Amino acid sequence: MATATLPTSGNWSDSKRYLWPLGALILLLPIAGTIGYEQTGWAVTLWFAFIILYAVIPLADYLIGEDHANPPDSAMASLASDRYYRYALFASVPVYLGMWFYMAWFGATHDLPWYAWLGLTLSLGVGCGLAINIAHELGHQTSPVERFLAKLMLAPGFYGHFYVEHNRGHHIQVATPEDPASSRFGENFYEFFPRCVAGSFKRAWNIEKKRLEREGKSVWHWSNDNLQSTAMTIVLWTIVGVWLGWQAVLFVAIAGAYGGSLLEVINYLEHYGLMRQKRADGSYERCQPHHSWNSNHIVTNVLLYHLQRHSDHHANPTRSYQTLRHFEGVPSLPSGYAAMILVAYIPPLWFRLMDPKVVAHHQGDMRKANIKPSVRDAVIAKYSQSASVATA
C-alpha cells in the first residue's frame, strides 16, 4: 500500500525552495550555446542544451541522488499559497519566449554547416520540450491568468491540444487501455509515439466538441481552447515568417516537433504497463499513487518542477508542484527522467529493465497489467505458466 512518510515534529522548510528558479534558467541553455559558438566558432557548442539533457543531467541525478522529504500536513496550506512558487514558475514565460525568438533570429542570420544546424535545432527543441512541462504545471491551476500562460507556452511548439487533452482526457482515463497517453506492456516507444500523438490530438478535439455542443456552440467557436492555442501559434509563426523568412518558420516548426517528442517519451515512461482495475459496475477504480511510475531524483525534479513525483500528481492533480509528496510502496523508476528517456529510445534495453518491474508490481498476475493487445494473450500465458512452475 502506498504511504507518504511525513515529519512528526519540528519546523519544516523546503530544502529546494531557492532551486526552483533553475527551471527557468535552464531555458537559457540554447542561447548559451550560440554565445559559445560566436566566441569559439566550435559547432559543438550549438549542441549544448542537447548534451546537458542527455549526459550532464543523468550524471548529476546519479551523483546527487534522491530526495524523499515530504511537507507535513501543517505546512501544506501555507506552501500552496506561497506566491514565491507561483512567481518562480511565471519567470519561465518571458525567458522561454525571449529565447525562442532569439534562436529563430540566430538561425535565420547565420550560415551554418548541417551539423551545426542540427545541434541548433535540437537545442531549441529541448527548450520547447521543457516549455511543455511548464505549460503542464500552469494548465493545472484554476487562475485564468495561469491557464492563458499555459496555452501561450504551448504555442511556439504548436502543441496547444495538450492543454485540453492532458487535463480533461489523460487525467480521466490514465492507466487504462482507453488512454492513448498511457503506454502498454510490450509496446516500444516507436509504436507508442504515433499512437499517442494521433489519439491525443483526436481526443482533444472531441472533448472540446462535446463541451461546446452542451453550450449550444459550434466546434469552430472562438472559445474552443484548441482554436485559441492554434491562433497563438499562427500569430507567433507569422511574426517569425514576416521578420525572418519562411526558412525560420520551418526551423522553429522542426524544433517544436522534437520538443513534442520529448513530452511523449516522458508520457511513455510514466505509466508503462500499469492499469487501474475495473469495479463490478464496469467503471475504473479511482487513480491511486501506484498507477504511475515515480522518481525522486533531485536534479531532474527541480528542473521539471516535481513532475517526477508523478504518483502524487495523478492521485492529487490539483496539488501545485511544491506540495507534491513522495510515496513509499509505489512503482519507482531506477533513475530520473533524463536517463530513462535514453533507455526508452532503445527498446531491447527498456524491456529488459522495465518488464521485470511491471511483472513484480503485479506480483506475476499480468491480467492486471495494461498490455499491448497483439501480445496480451501470450504475455498472460507466459507469466501464468511461470507462476505455476514456481509454485509446483
pLDDT in tens, 335-374: 999 999 999 999 999 999 999 999 999 999 999 999 999 9
The answer to whether residue 190 is domain-embedded is yes
- The confidence score (pLDDT) of residue 392 equals 42
The answer to whether residue 374 is domain-embedded is no
Q: Tell me: the pLDDT tens digits for 20-69?
A: 999 999 999 999 999 999 999 999 999 999 999 999 999 999 999 999 99
The answer to whether residue 136 is domain-embedded is yes
Chain center to CA of 26:
16
- The confidence score (pLDDT) of residue 18 equals 95
The answer to whether residue 226 is domain-embedded is yes
The answer to whether residue 57 is domain-embedded is yes
Q: Which residues of the chain have pLDDT under 50?
A: 388-392
Q: How many domains does the chain have?
A: 1
The answer to whether residue 104 is domain-embedded is yes
Q: Residue 249's domain spans which residues?
A: 17-361
- The confidence score (pLDDT) of residue 391 equals 43
The answer to whether residue 240 is domain-embedded is yes
- For residues 177 and 195, what is the distance between their CA atoms, to the nearest angstrom? 12
The answer to whether residue 39 is domain-embedded is yes
Contacts made by residues 49-56, CB under 8 angstroms, sequence distance 24+: 49/122, 49/123, 49/124, 49/126, 49/127, 50/119, 50/122, 50/123, 50/126, 52/26, 52/126, 53/126, 53/338, 54/338, 54/342
